[in-house]
Structure 1
Amino acid sequence: MTNEVRNPKSAAPTRFVIRSSSLLRDSSFWFRHFSAATLCLTAANCAFFPPLGTKRLKNDLAELHGKAPSKWAALPGISPTAATGWLDDFGSAKLKALVQQAISGNPSLKAAAARVDQARAQTMQAGSSLFPTLTSTGSGNRTQSPGDQRFPGNEAIANRFTGNWLNMSWEIDFWGRVADSRRAAKAGSEAAEEDWHAARLSLAASTVQTAVTLAEAETLLALAESNVATRKVQLGILERQLDRGIDPDRAALDVSLSRADLARAEATVQQRRATADETRRTLETLLGGYPAGSESGLGSLPSLRRGIPAGLPSEMLLRRPDLRAAERRLAAALASESAAKKAMLPSLRLTGSAGRTTQQIEQLIRPESAIWVIGTQVGQTLFQGGQLKAGVDLQRGRYKEILQTYASSTLTAFREVETALAAEQFLLRQQSALERAAEEAERAEKLALGQYEKGLSEVLTLLDARQRAFDARSTLTNVKAQRLRNRAALHLALGGEF
């Protein structure tokens, strides 16, 4: 409701022009009390109206978490901090330095940090509606009336200067709708922070795994080069035998077989050089540098200093950043659904302004030119073609989707942990068996060489024994590297701080 009075010196109406009352002249009196009331109501809104469906969220989470076993199936209860600081497991200062370099230089991680800043700014934007909007405006205009006025004495040209030193507009969040929107934005901001933690942890694990893969490739390359050197020596011996004419048919066959094995060994060297070069450039990219192929890496495979703890409680999985992010997104969806429901309720808006208006600009400082307006507005949406209800259905559908996504992520997390725990046992046994196989293959190679030099066996037996020894050493290196990568994957799955 708006009341208007007309200033006798102006053709334009003004709103509640006060020129004489000493109490109303002091407009700051009203705005001090009005501001105090708004702050009290704002605080009350945030405290008294939690999101609708909070109990449902609690029950959904309890049901989801209740599906987790108390112990892991692959490894028969440690404290949640026992699987942290896992970089120490590898006992490599160079590996720690590579991880820290990646954390400080990787562009993708910096992008994730920028998304956190954006989410925090969105939270501030969403929360700003909880408070009044204050503006200050000023205007001046000059108007001319028609010259054929019916009543003489009216000025043909009139000035009007207005200064609204303070304009206030505030929608009272009586039902908590704006507060719910802010809760949703805050939960989204927290989810973005968890995404950053997840990206940081994933980057650390990827750096470890890539550095291990590079060390594996370099070790395999050294084995291949050693194999080529050995086969070249052997081929030289066979060629000299052929030149001396000792059993030329047999010597020619031995030379051909040796040359074929040498060519295969040289091809293996080139393949392993390509693998090492590609892995080196991948590692440089993770570190945030130009992939020039000059990174030295670890040089050799590190050794694990400790094994898996005696038992890992399933509750440790809840510390995974990606699962915490999923839970925060679920809370954001619930708050958005609650805000959509409350949008159907009536809204209450308070408005007010205080300032001065006059026909002479120099009179703006006089108390008698003061004006102020305080008003209220109540609104209720009656019909929008089902838009509000569709908004509620949309947010409820998003909540259900995120809940099932959370459940799926939880199952995936359990699978990753169970798989890594089981693989640790398999790889440990496999490594033990391959160590025995490598020892026996090396022994067989020495025996075959001795028998060949004595003429008791053919060169084919020697070549086969050497290939077996080379394959055994290569496979053992593969399994050692795989066990190191699996340890990093296990800690990534557990979400432990490195």
Structure 2
Amino acid sequence: MKTLFPLNPRMILFSIFAAAAVCMVYGCSLGPEYQRPDIKVAVPDRYDNASGATEPIENRITGGDRWWLEFGDPEISRIAGEVLKHNWDIRRAAAVVAEFRAGLIISRSDRFPTTGLDFSAERTHRKVKSQTMGDITIGPSGRVIIGPGQTRYTDTTEDFYNLSLPMSYEIDLWGRIARANEAALADLLAADENRRAVTHSVVAETISTYLELEALERRMVLAKQNIDNHTSALKLVEGRYNLGLSDVLAVRQAKRALAQAQSELSPLRQALGETQQALAVLMGRYPETRPPRIQSEDYFKRLNPVPPGMPAELLRRRPDILAAEAALQAANARIGEAHAARFPRISLTGRFGYASSDLDDLLSSRRQSINYGADLLAPLFNAGRLKAAENATAARYDRAVADYAKIVLTAFSEVEGALLRRKELLDKRDRILNLVKEAAATLEAAEMRYQRGVSGYLNVLEAQRANYSARESLVMADLSILTNRVSLHRALGGGFN
């Protein structure tokens, strides 16, 4: 029976090469193409709690992400620069980026042929059996008689040398390798954005820690001033007691107030030391402490007003959002990779080399050999393993979408929250300034009335506590405003000019 379409090996190889060429030119990649998912959240044109200039925040972002320069403090700039050089979390994040960059090179190598050098030398020792004839004699009747022979074993040695260049190349017929490269590149982008996110977080934590350190030093100045005031007040009360103008209860009350003021200094020293140690660790140094610095009372400087912004721009600049989207792209590419793994794989193999039993004659042209062929590996039965693997990659993509949506909403919440707190904190500070003014006036009036004998010393103690509490509240309000600005820069993923 004659077949209509005879199977010709050359035609099969030609068909394979033609299909491979078409797919390489036109990009036969299975799986869905990436599109940014719709998280179904109505994003406003501007932040609800933004106020001030009319230029959007994102139009004023500094290109180098050196948002801490806005504070105008050389010490903050110095600390930030040292953290960028010596912080171990940042170094670790950079090492992760280097790891994924090497992984991308490994993944891309699958798109190119692989070749190697194979040299082997073999020596075989064996015994060769040989049979010798016996003596030949002629008998009385004239018949030839052959005597018994001997069996001999001779040691022989055979050498064999082989030198070849094996080559192999997998034709990416369905885009499996291309999708793997796409996923590896997205992983690298995600790692790099995570490095930026870590850098922002570490610098923000460092600056917030430094601001807390300054606030503790100012609170220690207030605590020492409070001790001095109570010491002076005790001398005044004791002087009036010695003159018979005051009773012993006032003396006891003054001593109790002084003891309480002195007891408040030790926790501040402890907190200052712990904050200094934490700052040293962030800067990559040994945790150490030092005496508090003297802080001036006129230290607070109002920062530039926050301009309104476009929340949609946040999706294109905040590193953790960009990292989440890169992870989405990687998960999407792996769906195509898993889908392509269910189709046959075609590999081209070849070997060019020499083989000889004489090393001196190994590279002779008559010892040359060339082998080439094609391998096709098609999955026939795997109990649903490949299908389950594809379903698993699709589920991981859905999980990445959920992570992305949560990160985006969290970012919007952090920005809106920082803007809301800023307005309230600035209003609170204005009210505390009025409180400080009234507390100082109340203390002055209470001391005047006590010295004149119009009121008791308890009113003076109450006024002293209220004055100290108001001044300390002002320090804490200033700290909240400054750290809130740090949180805003961290939420925005950068600063503005």
Name the TM-score, length of structure 2 as normaliser. 0.85
Match of 1:223?
Answer: 222
SS in 2 for 1:142: strand
Alignment match of 2:272 (pick from 260, 272, 276): 276
Q: Compared with structure 1, are the counterparts of its residues 79 and 270 closer, same or farther at alpha carbon in structure 2 (3 Å cutoff)?
A: closer
Q: 1:326 touches 1:406 (CA, 8 Å); kept in 2?
A: yes
CA distance in 2, matches of 1:236, 1:66: 67
Q: Compared with structure 1, are the counterparts of its residues 299 and 178 closer, same or farther at alpha carbon in structure 2 (3 Å cutoff)?
A: farther
CA distance in 2, matches of 1:191, 1:305: 33
CA distance in 2, matches of 1:471, 1:116: 49
SS in 1 for 2:39: helix
Q: 1:140 touches 1:162 (CA, 8 Å); kept in 2?
A: yes
Match of 1:111?
Answer: 92
Residue segments in structure 2 that go unaligned for 5+ positions in a row: 1-12, 132-153
Structure 1 residues 341-400: Cα deviation after superposition (integer angstroms, max 9, x where no partner): 100001001100111111111111211110110010111011112211111111111111
Structure 1 residues 160-211: Cα deviation after superposition (integer angstroms, max 9, x where no partner): 21111x2101111111101111111111111000011111111221121111
Alignment of 1:119-198 (within 5 A): 119-144=100-125, 147-148=128-129, 157-164=157-164, 166-198=165-197
- The reply on whether 1:74 has 2:70 as its aligned counterpart is no
1:380 is aligned with what amino acid? A
Match of 2:7?
Answer: none
CA distance in 2, matches of 1:489, 1:297: 26
1:173 is aligned with what amino acid? D
Deviation at 1:325, TM superposition (A): 0.2
CA distance in 2, matches of 1:401, 1:308: 35
Alignment match of 1:267 (pick from 245, 263, 272): 263
CA distance in 2, matches of 1:339, 1:255: 84
Match of 1:415?
Answer: 413
Alignment match of 1:384 (pick from 378, 382, 385): 382
CA distance in 2, matches of 1:161, 1:404: 61
* RMSD value, Cα: 2.6
Match of 1:97?
Answer: 78
- The reply on whether 1:400 has 2:369 as its aligned counterpart is no
Q: Compared with structure 1, are the counterparts of its residues 62 and 334 closer, same or farther at alpha carbon in structure 2 (3 Å cutoff)?
A: closer
SS in 2 for 1:69: coil
Alignment of 1:391-470 (within 5 A): 391-470=389-468
Structure 1 residues 237-261: Cα deviation after superposition (integer angstroms, max 9, x where no partner): 22233334x15xx521101111111
Match of 2:39?
Answer: 64
CA distance in 1, matches of 2:446, 2:241: 20
Q: 1:211 touches 1:298 (CA, 8 Å); kept in 2?
A: no
Give the aligned length: 450
Residue segments in structure 1 that go unaligned for 5+ positions in a row: 1-33
Deviation at 1:476, TM superposition (A): 0.8
Deviation at 1:142, TM superposition (A): 2.4
Deviation at 1:337, TM superposition (A): 1.5
Question: Going by fraction, where is helix more abundant, 1 or 2?
Answer: 1
Aligned-residue identity in percent: 28
CA distance in 1, matches of 2:433, 2:24: 69
Structure whose CA Rg is larger: 2
Deviation at 1:51, TM superposition (A): 5.6
Structure 1 residues 406-449: Cα deviation after superposition (integer angstroms, max 9, x where no partner): 10111111110110000000001000000011011111111111
Q: Compared with structure 1, are the counterparts of its residues 134 and 43 closer, same or farther at alpha carbon in structure 2 (3 Å cutoff)?
A: farther
Match of 1:313?
Answer: 310
Alignment of 1:193-208 (within 5 A): 193-208=192-207
User: 298-307 or 390-399: which moved more?
Assistant: 298-307
- The reply on whether 1:53 has 2:32 as its aligned counterpart is yes
Q: Compared with structure 1, are the counterparts of its residues 51 and 104 closer, same or farther at alpha carbon in structure 2 (3 Å cutoff)?
A: farther
Q: Compared with structure 1, are the counterparts of its residues 49 and 68 closer, same or farther at alpha carbon in structure 2 (3 Å cutoff)?
A: farther
CA distance in 1, matches of 2:285, 2:403: 35
Q: 1:91 touches 1:303 (CA, 8 Å); kept in 2?
A: no
1:277 is aligned with what amino acid? G
1:461 is aligned with what amino acid? N
SS in 1 for 2:60: coil
Q: Compared with structure 1, are the counterparts of its residues 429 and 281 closer, same or farther at alpha carbon in structure 2 (3 Å cutoff)?
A: same
Q: 2:30 touches 2:174 (CA, 8 Å); kept in 1?
A: no
Q: Compared with structure 1, are the counterparts of its residues 101 and 417 closer, same or farther at alpha carbon in structure 2 (3 Å cutoff)?
A: same
Deviation at 1:455, TM superposition (A): 1.1
Deviation at 1:155, TM superposition (A): 11
CA distance in 2, matches of 1:147, 1:327: 72
CA distance in 1, matches of 2:485, 2:25: 46
Structure 1 residues 123-167: Cα deviation after superposition (integer angstroms, max 9, x where no partner): 1111111111100111121235663489xxx99543221111x21
1:226 is aligned with what amino acid? Q
Name the TM-score, length of structure 1 as normaliser. 0.85
